[in-house]
């Protein structure tokens, strides 16, 4: 089962970190990167440096030498609170940051990964020799974690992030012993997790045997999953594709863009909106369980991507967007051909599929809010 421990967190030497924390690397657009770069010590210079991974590593060493970043004197676990608005209601998601021993038998994955992001993150890890961003893990056991000493606070993308510190050895041991009975589920960060495993193979025993993560209770009422929509590039809805789609879907035109229902996809081609509802949503028996095929993302992958459009190279033809209006604007600007809106995956669906040992299609979940990058890091140089 999962083995956690405290670590000497590498943190900014000031308490208000609103000007320096960022979104995770894979959520930073070119425009966002430019805005972050206006701040000389923004964390973006470490996780998404404009020049090179070596420049990121150099910045990290310079900031440590000058005291902009400092390492805590004692090993600690770091509770994290994220306060945000969702559908007009204020929510607070609570978790804690610790490091855990890399053990594939203790970690449940639920999404497939893409090769290019992993290659990029591995190069950065080799250069920086520092675990710069945590992954997001879910556990089921009720574990009380008291937020004692507040050490940093920062607002990013409308989310107020507050970091605390627990360095009492007995309290850390209590948390560790409670989690020893748990398997954990990766909510976010599959690419970074697999990169950590690869780096461990390269380096062998040492600090890299552990990976930094934020642990959140699976029953936290502030655990929100948003849909991730699909953009198609260099693909058109020709007569052949339309014929295939009509064989599989009940297709009707709708007046405006809207959130799809369960087992429905909404398509926008630049001129009209279409509702697509599978004629036969029961795909059980085609290599996966009924729980897997109940996922809208799995249904979309099989019926639309593979059968409807015959796409084999997903990385070359499919990209992802959270905001439906942003995706629509990209189609309008002819930056892509088609937008498909999907219904969000529920946490119970994630649990059922992962408990079967199955892996969901890419970008099946989008947990909100994202974990901030820059609250704390784990230095692998010891």
Read off the pLDDT of residues 166-217 as tens digits, 9 standing for 90 and up: 999 999 999 999 998 888 999 999 999 999 999 999 999 999 999 999 999 9
Report helix, strand and coil shares of the chain as percent, to nearest 5: 30, 30, 40
The fraction of the chain above a pLDDT of 70, given in percent, is 99
pLDDT, tens digit (0-9, with 9 covering 90-100), for 303-341: 999 999 999 888 889 999 989 999 999 999 999 999 999
> What are the beta bridge partners of residue 89?
86
* Residue 198 DSSP SS3: helix
83: part of which helix (H) or strand (E)?
Answer: strand 78-86
- DSSP per residue over 349-382, as a string? HHHHHHHTT--BPTT--EEESPPPBSS-BEETT-
Distances (CA, A) of 339 to 114, 181, 189, 310, 318: 20, 43, 25, 17, 10
Q: Tell me: the pLDDT tens digits for 62-90?
A: 999 999 999 999 999 999 999 999 989 99
C-alpha closest to that of 80 among 179, 184, 188, 159: 159
> Looking at beta carbons, which pairs linking 24-30 to residues 24 or more positions away fall under 8 Å?
24/133, 24/188, 24/370, 24/371, 24/373, 25/121, 25/133, 25/373, 26/117, 26/191, 27/370
What pLDDT is stored for residue 285 in this prediction? 65
Question: Residue 289 phi/psi, 5° resolution?
Answer: -80, 170
Handedness of CA 246, 249, 250, 253 (dihedral sign): negative
Confidence of residue 116 (pLDDT cuts 50, 70, 90): confident
CA-nearest of 309, 327, 310 to 363 is: 327
**CA 13 → CA 20, 56, 106, 138, 376, distances in Å?**
12, 19, 34, 29, 11
pLDDT tens, residue by residue, 52-68 = 999 999 999 999 999 99
φ, ψ at 182 (rounded to 5°): -110, 145
Q: Rounded CA gap, 165 and 152, in Å? A: 9
| Residue 44 CA: distances (Å) to CA of 127, 128, 162 | 16, 14, 19
CA distance linking residue 26 with residue 49, whole number of Å: 13
- pLDDT, greater one: 17 or 357: 17
Rounded CA-CA distance 309/115 in Å is 22
For the chain, domains (ranges, CATH) are: 4-224+368-379 (3.90.1530.10), 228-343 (3.30.1760)
Query: What are the two backbone dihedrals, phi and then psi, of residue 131, each rounded to the nearest 5 degrees?
Result: -85, 100
């Amino acid at each position: 089962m999962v083995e956690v421990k405290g670590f000497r967190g590498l943190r900014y030497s000031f308490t208000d970190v609103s000007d320096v924390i960022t979104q995770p690397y894979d959520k930073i657009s070119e425009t966002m990167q430019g805005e972050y770069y206006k701040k000389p010590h923004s964390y973006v210079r470490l996780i998404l440096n404009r020049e090179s991974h070596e420049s990121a590593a150099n910045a990290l060493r310079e900031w440590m030498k000058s005291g902009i970043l400092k390492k805590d004197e004692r090993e600690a676990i770091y509770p994290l609170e994220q306060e945000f608005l969702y559908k007009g209601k204020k929510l607070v998601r609570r978790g804690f940051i610790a490091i855990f021993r890399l053990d594939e038998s203790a970690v449940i994955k639920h999404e497939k990964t893409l090769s290019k992001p992993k290659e990029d993150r591995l190069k950065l890890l080799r250069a920086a020799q520092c675990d710069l961003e945590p992954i997001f893990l879910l556990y089921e056991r009720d574990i009380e974690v008291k937020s004692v000493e507040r050490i940093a606070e920062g607002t990013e993308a409308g989310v107020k992030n507050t970091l605390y510190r627990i360095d009492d050895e007995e309290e850390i041991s209590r948390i560790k012993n409670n989690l020893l009975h748990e398997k954990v589920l990766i909510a976010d960060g599959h690419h970074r997790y697999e990169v950590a495993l690869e780096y461990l193979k390269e380096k062998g025993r040492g600090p890299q045997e552990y990976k930094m993560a934020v642990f959140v209770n699976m029953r936290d009422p502030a655990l929100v999953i948003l849909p991730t929509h699909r953009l198609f590039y260099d693909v058109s809805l020709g007569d052949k594709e339309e014929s295939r789609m009509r064989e599989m879907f009940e297709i009707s035109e709708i007046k405006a863009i809207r959130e799809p229902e369960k087992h429905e996809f909404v398509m926008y081609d630049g001129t009209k909106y279409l509702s697509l509802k599978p004629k036969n949503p029961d795909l059980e028996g085609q290599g996966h369980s009924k729980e897997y095929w109940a996922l809208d993302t799995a249904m979309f992958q099989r019926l639309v991507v593979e059968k409807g459009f015959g796409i084999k190279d997903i990385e070359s033809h499919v990209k992802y967007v959270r905001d439906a209006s942003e995706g629509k604007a990209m189609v309008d600007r002819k930056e892509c051909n088609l937008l498909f809106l999907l219904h969000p995956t529920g946490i119970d669906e994630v649990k059922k599929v992962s408990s079967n040992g199955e892996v969901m299609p890419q970008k099946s979940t989008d947990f909100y809010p994202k974990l901030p990058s820059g609250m704390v890091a784990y230095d692998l140089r010891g």
